[in-house]
Structure 1
Amino acid sequence: MTVSIVVVSHSEKIADGAVELAAQMAPDVVILPAGGTDDGRIGTSLGKVLAALEQAGGEGTVVLTDLGSAVMTAESALEFLESPAGVLLADAPLVEGLVAAAVAAQGGADVQAVRQAAEGTRGPGNQPQPAGWEAGRGSVSSAAPDCTGDFELVNQAGMHARPAAKVAGGLASLDAEVTINGVDGASMTGLMTLGAGKGTVLHVEAWGADAERAVEYVRSLVEAGFGEP
């Protein structure tokens, strides 16, 4: 069984839509929405969150929320659970964090790594950076990378949403700082802004304990065409 995910939003439509999007990239992961109030208004419902958490199961559960009061509702729900230890709240942007978490869970990551993948999407401004990170430039430049690689995109659609989510989700769970063509490799949005089509060469630079694993991870995805034609 994989780690499950619960989405808590003030809007039932937002929760349902985010779950629908993430499910396209992680078909084997249980992702449950808990959006809106019990009577269909904008707001959060303790009952909905509890029901989703009790249904989730799996090897732990990661909870993502949209706004501050949704966090409070999720925290309140944890107090009612018999075994809250396996339920972790992620401090991450709802949609990008959800997609990254779902991809990590699909890949078999444990609950801690799934939460880390979600939180890795907050961007370099909110993450601890290695020596040499130049604030405001979005890349590590003054310290030589521990590992590098150049890989040509072979899938027809290039770096669109699904490949970007796979790359970002996997890299966010590693102990490494990674840039791909100058953008944060753990940012799904950043990768999509590259506009990298088929034939584009991705230059990967990585720093940290898992630098070699990070570069190998990107290589394996790219050379396999992300499982696409």
Structure 2
Amino acid sequence: MTVGLVIVSHSAQLAAGVVELAAQMARDVVLAPAGGTDDGGIGTSLEKVMSAMGLADTGDGVVVLTDLGSAVMTAESALEFMGSPENMVLADAPLVEGAVAAAVAAQSGATLAVVQKAAETALDPGAAASAKAPGAAQAPGGSQAPCGGQPSDGGPAADKGAGAGHSTGAAVTAVLTLINPMGLHARPAAVLAGELGAMDVDIEINGADGQSVFLLMALGAGEGRELHVSASGPDAQRAVDLVRSKVEEGFGEL
């Protein structure tokens, strides 16, 4: 099972849309929308939120995300009515970006605390390193590589060879070329971030943290672009092999 997500919005359509988007990144995660009032108007409903929390509770915990201020109050009231369960938390996060980041983390098997942190640091790359915590498939990702500002076209440790990973001291590196027409768009970025996030590895792709879906998307890497991969840690070789296999198969889009 995975941590479930509840999306609380003043608009039923907005809540459903965020769930639809996040589901594309994390097909195994339970996402429950709670949008609009009971009569279909704009607003929030305590009953809807409580029902969604129950639906999303798979046993591994629930992270609740909201849009505007009164939605926060409704979610807080729902948690109080339910006895403030320890396995349900309210994330202080942007609704869309937080939901996507949380869904990707949950898909990788992350713990409740890690999924909450992923949501809350979705728009703060500098804080992404603290999103890792012990638990879930060995702390969905061990320690995380420093982001160090804007992604670059490649790190100094990148192998300039033909794409075969090899060990340089503690690092495993590779240079790979994107062959799928859309390049490293949202879905492939989510696939990489989710699977790499479950490994004990520090990995950078063109200078960006390979365990962050948003930093990978920010690379804007299209078809034909080289990906310079550098990884260290216990799962370094496995991580580079994963990136290579996904890139060479065109992320299943060919």
- TM-score per shorter chain, which class? 0.7 to 0.9
The one-letter code matched in structure 2 to 1:158 is G
Shift of 1:169: 4.4
Distance in 2, matches of 1:108 and 1:62, equals 14
Give 2:34's aligned residue: 34
Q: 2:89 is matched with which residue? A: 88
Residues 121-132 of structure 1: pairs in structure 2 closer than 5 A: 121-127=122-128
Contact 2:145 2:202 in 1 (8 A): no
State the one-letter code of the partner of 1:155.
N
Once the two structures are TM-superposed, the CA of residue 228 in structure 1 deviates from its matched residue by 3.5
**Greater fraction helix:** 1
Q: Compute the TM-score of the two structures, normalised by the length of structure 2.
A: 0.69
Question: Which range moves more in the overlay, 42-51 or 102-111?
Answer: 102-111
Residue 22 (structure 2) aligns with: 22
Which residue in 1 is equivalent to 2:114? 113
1:167 is aligned to 2:179? no
Q: Does the Cα contact within 8 Å between 1:6 and 1:63 map onto a contact in 2?
A: yes
Match for residue 13 of structure 1?
A: 13
CA contact (8 A) 1:120 1:186 kept: no
- Which runs of structure 2 are paired with 1:34-183 in the superposition (5 Å)? 34-58=34-58, 59-82=60-83, 84-127=85-128, 137-138=149-150, 147=171, 149-169=174-194, 179-183=204-208
Kept in 2, the 8 Å contact 1:101–1:169? The answer is: no
Cα pair distance change 1:132/1:94, threshold 3 Å: closer
Q: What is the TM-score normalised by the length of structure 1?
A: 0.75
Query: Identity across aligned pairs (percent)?
Result: 58
Choose 1 or 2 for highest CA Rg. 2
Aligned length: 224
| Letter of the 2:176 counterpart | F
Partners of 1:133 and 1:161 lie apart in 2 by 19
- Specify the code of the residue in structure 2 equivalent to 1:108: G
Structure 2: state its 5+ residue gaps: 131-143, 158-169
Sort the Cα spacing of 1:214 and 1:78 in 2 relative to 1 into closer, same or farther, 3 A: farther
Unaligned residue ranges in structure 1 (runs of 5+): none
- What displacement does 1:190 show? 4.1
Q: Which amino acid aligns with 1:66?
A: D
Q: Contact 1:9–1:66 (CA<8 Å) still a contact in 2? A: yes
Letter in 2 for 1:27: R
Q: Which segment drifts farther, 38-47 or 183-192?
A: 183-192
